[in-house]
Amino acid sequence: MTEISPTPSTPQHRGTALRLHRQLARIWGSDPRFRGWLTTSNNNDIGGLFLIVATTFFVIGGVLAMLIRAQLATPNSAFLQPEAYNQIFTMHGTVMMFLFAIPFFEAMSVLLLPGMLGTRDMAFPRLGAYGLWVYIFGGSAVIIAMLMGLAPDGGWFMYPPLSSAAFSPGVGADVWLLGITSIEVSAIATAVEVIVTVLRYRAAGMSLSRMPIFAWYILIVSVMILTAFPPMILGSLLLEVERALDWPFFQVENGGDPLLWQHLFWLFGHPEVYIIFLPAAGMIATILPVMARTTLLGYGWVVAAAVSLAVLSFGLWVHHMFTTGIPHMGLAFFSAASTLVAVPTSVMIFSWIGTLWKGHARMELPLLWIMGFFATFVIGGLTGVMLAVVPFNWQVHDTHFVVAHLHYVLIGGYVFPMIAAIYYFLPLLTGRTRFFKLGEVAFWLVVPAFHITFLAVHMAGLLGQRRRTWTYDAGQGWEALNFVASVASFVMAIGFALVILDVAVNAFVAIRGRRNPWGAGTLEWAAAIPSPAYGFASIPIVKARYPLHNDPDLALRIARGEGYLGDASRNRLETVIVATAQGTPSQVAVLPGNSRLPVLLAVVTSTSFLAPLFGAYALSGIALLGVVTVSLYWAWGLGSRTDEGLVDAGHGVRLPLASESADPPGWWGSLFLLLADGVHFGSLLFGYAFLWTVAPHWPPQSYLQPSLWSVVLALVGAGALTLGPRLAVSQIKQGRAAWPAIGLGVLGAMALAAAAVTIMANRPNPAGHAYDATLWLLAGHVLLHTALTVIMLGYLIARVAAGYASANRIGEARIVALWADFTAATGLVALAAAWLPGGFG
């Protein structure tokens, strides 16, 4: 059962709260039957499933780690054969980095953000459900391939030429490339949802300066996902195309360069370390003040430090490549940048220490795990500074010293704080108070065993033990270190198993608890426990950063419906959208209900990615058509044919519906999705420039020379594509026919596409040289985006004809115009990049 707010002071108030709770539970609730899990889009359900699946992958990754340590415990071990060992260590890194670390904090975000922000759900509930199911299908495919012996064996970093078709035949590498890319699509979908939620879906009065600190961290991390994942997606696309079609992006003899993969991978890979760390830091900054019974010291400085760390993380990727022949000036720059990240990290550390100092700490279990973080992460940070020093890096590169450093940062800096967060939020998520005390036993097993394991691995690395080797000979001084590390690692694994057991038992068996047992001041603790499907009975009105401390009776008034939208009589899923900076209510969002569409779209999306593994390219194409069809059907079910006008939001305030606003949530979502798309396009231009300036066998024997009419066609097409949708928005506002303007946009897109086709016609053999292959990719970018824009324009014509657009309901038209502008701008840049080196014929 869900606990209702503490009993109001009068029977009348109690009856009001109960009646409102029942109404909202009926409106927001999911189907209680099993099929409800396939149709739900509620953040509690989606976040819970995310958490369970991510934890399952953590267990799988842990089992793989134990197999690795069993093999390395003794010299010349025959426990695993080389082929099996290579698959296992590849899958251990893949599972932990891609299937556990990022999805786990995304799960926590989906579960907790609406409560922290004082809203009822995430901005795009169905998009969140879609991201969940794509993640489940993609991750399951990778694990099933491993169980079938088809896992990749080239390392979780998949460096070519080892991962090329010549040296990694079979489908193992393809499983990694296509499966992981589909999971990255899931991460981007969740990141877009999180950004729009944090910026627009908050409690009334919650300005940016009053946001919970975790919301700042997760906002920064989500923007990082949109800017770090696209280079990796591009790299995976290039390598898969090379494997499938022999386009020579990484083949030196045909103008490619394997180092291009390393640049694209680490443009993603190093920011990913901070993408993983920053949510854990956000949890520490949330939990620590509560455990110390005070407020966070230096809130503004901590936010600035998180932003600085995010920005700096994108300038460090080359320190993974110090041994690849980087020029000395580059080595000096990236070495300095790598040490510079210690500054914002230190700001956070000293803020947390200062918070403990000014408060009165109570050593509860969450704080115990955070103490484990301090003891571990500082060591990991110091070894990171050591690795930033180029001469030392040269000595320990590709040794077990790097393995130990990575685990100190990721386990100490991520897993320990996340365990603290699970224990801290367990009363909120389950409504129960911890009764069984296995967590303390687990802590004293895990933390000492972790340090024994990886201090020994550090030492083995300093003594020269190479990573990624399946065994070693006796007499090199590594035997005792590896044996101790392996024994301690099994103790650590037992401790982690006890954590999972402790959480599960206390979640389902322990006694019911009271609301807000920690005495926290943030809004998530004002909701009923465990959180009902609707989150808050009414949208809170906040006047401080810690609203429950500022107003102890706030939870009572929320439950009585005294906030915004405290009347459920309209019988629909409503929440408030606020102004980005100040947090003043500006719109009322009507969220879509539960649906089978997200899981259906996830099925066809995953099929389009995974069908090529079996050579079923036709099926993949059919699945892509299914993606378009389901997406259009999904979008068609939204919106309204009539203007509702201003609606009563409570407190005498009348607000427009989001669907009758110029900047609906979909416009914001498109804006940030196009940010990721733009970074993907920028990564393509970076790869083109890198091959041009660094790769052997450049320049090519001949350049593409465009004709004048192709250039004119592109310029006129881009102009029409930009102008048409903008005119359509103006015509809709004035109540005039919009189809001529939309038609102009369609013609412009077709002209731009025709200009791109001339590139392919003039360079018909993309497998001959990396230059030709890159030109085809540039032209393909234009063709893909013009096709998407034409589909959107056709959809807009149908929506206008069906009465879904009016002077107030112009949001969809503005979304299409945004995509058209992006297509025109990037299309011209892509064509210019293809044409300018060769001049004009």
**DSSP codes joined into one string, 771-821:** HHHHHHHHHHHHHHHHHHHHHHHHHHHHHHHTT---SS--HHHHHHHHHHH
pLDDT in tens, 59-104: 999 999 999 999 999 999 989 999 999 999 999 999 999 999 999 9
Taking all residues of the chain, what is their mean pLDDT, rounded to a whole number? 93
The residue written with tokens 């990754």 in the block is 61
Q: C-alpha 157: how far from its chain's center?
A: 19
For the stretch 719-755, what's the b/e string if a residue is b when 16 or more beta carbons lie within 10 angstroms of its beta carbon? bbbbbbbbbbbebbbeeeebeebbebbbbbbbbbbbb
**DSSP codes joined into one string, 653-717:** EEE-BGGGSSS-HHHHHHHHHHHHHHHHHHHHHHHHHHHHHHSTT-S-SS-----HHHHHHHHHH
CB 433 within 8 A of CB 513: yes
User: What SS3 state is found at 590?
Assistant: strand
Query: What is the reported pLDDT for 7?
Result: 39
Rg of the chain in Å (alpha carbons): 28
Query: For residue 773, which of 834, 838, 841 has the smallest C-alpha distance?
Result: 834
The band of 11, judged by pLDDT with boundaries at 50, 70 and 90, is: low
User: In this prediction, what percent of the chain has a pLDDT beyond 90?
Assistant: 85
The band of 327, judged by pLDDT with boundaries at 50, 70 and 90, is: confident
Q: Read off the amino acid at residue 84.
A: A
Examine the pLDDT at 698 and tell me if it is beyond 70. yes
CB 115 within 8 A of CB 524: yes
Q: Read off the amino acid at residue 786.
A: T
pLDDT in tens, 660-688: 999 999 999 999 999 999 999 999 999 99
**DSSP codes joined into one string, 481-501:** HHHHHHHHHHHHHHHHHHHHH
Query: What is the reported pLDDT for 15?
Result: 62
Phi, psi at 99, each rounded to 5°: -100, -15
Query: What is the reported pLDDT for 14?
Result: 56
Choice among 181-190, 316-325, 616-625, 637-646 with the minimum mean pLDDT: 316-325
Query: Structure tokens of 458?
Result: 């550090």
pLDDT in tens, 363-410: 999 999 999 999 999 999 999 989 999 999 999 999 999 999 999 999
Q: Is 7 left (phi over 0), alpha (psi -120 to 50) or beta?
A: beta
Query: For residue 525, which of 116, 16, 48 has the smallest C-alpha distance?
Result: 116
pLDDT in tens, 765-794: 999 999 999 999 999 999 999 999 999 999
The band of 24, judged by pLDDT with boundaries at 50, 70 and 90, is: very high
Q: What mean pLDDT is predicted for residues 492-514?
A: 90
Long-range (24+ apart) CB contacts under 8 A made by 461-465 are 461/396, 461/399, 461/400, 461/401, 461/402, 461/403, 461/404, 462/396, 462/399, 462/401, 464/399, 465/399, 465/400
Query: For residue 98, which of 235, 217, 229, 191 has the smallest C-alpha distance?
Result: 229
C-alpha span between 110 and 135 (Å, rounded): 14
- Secondary structure E strands in 581-665: 585-590, 647-650, 653-655
Cα–Cα distances in angstroms (integers) from residue 334 to residues 312, 320, 360, in the given order: 11, 10, 41
Query: For residue 227, which of 273, 282, 267 has the smallest C-alpha distance?
Result: 267
C-alpha span between 466 and 165 (Å, rounded): 26
C-alpha span between 813 and 731 (Å, rounded): 10
Query: What is the reported pLDDT for 529?
Result: 87
Query: For residue 44, which of 433, 439, 528 has the smallest C-alpha distance?
Result: 528
The band of 6, judged by pLDDT with boundaries at 50, 70 and 90, is: very low
Reported pTM: 0.95
Query: What is the reported pLDDT for 696?
Result: 87
Query: What is the reported pLDDT for 4?
Result: 36
399 bridge partner residues: 466
pLDDT in tens, 292-326: 999 999 999 999 999 999 999 998 898 889 988 88
The band of 2, judged by pLDDT with boundaries at 50, 70 and 90, is: very low
H-helix or E-strand spanning residue 31:
none
CB 92 within 8 A of CB 194: no
The band of 10, judged by pLDDT with boundaries at 50, 70 and 90, is: low
pLDDT in tens, 525-556: 998 888 899 999 999 999 999 999 999 999 99
Q: Read off the amino acid at residue 184.
A: E
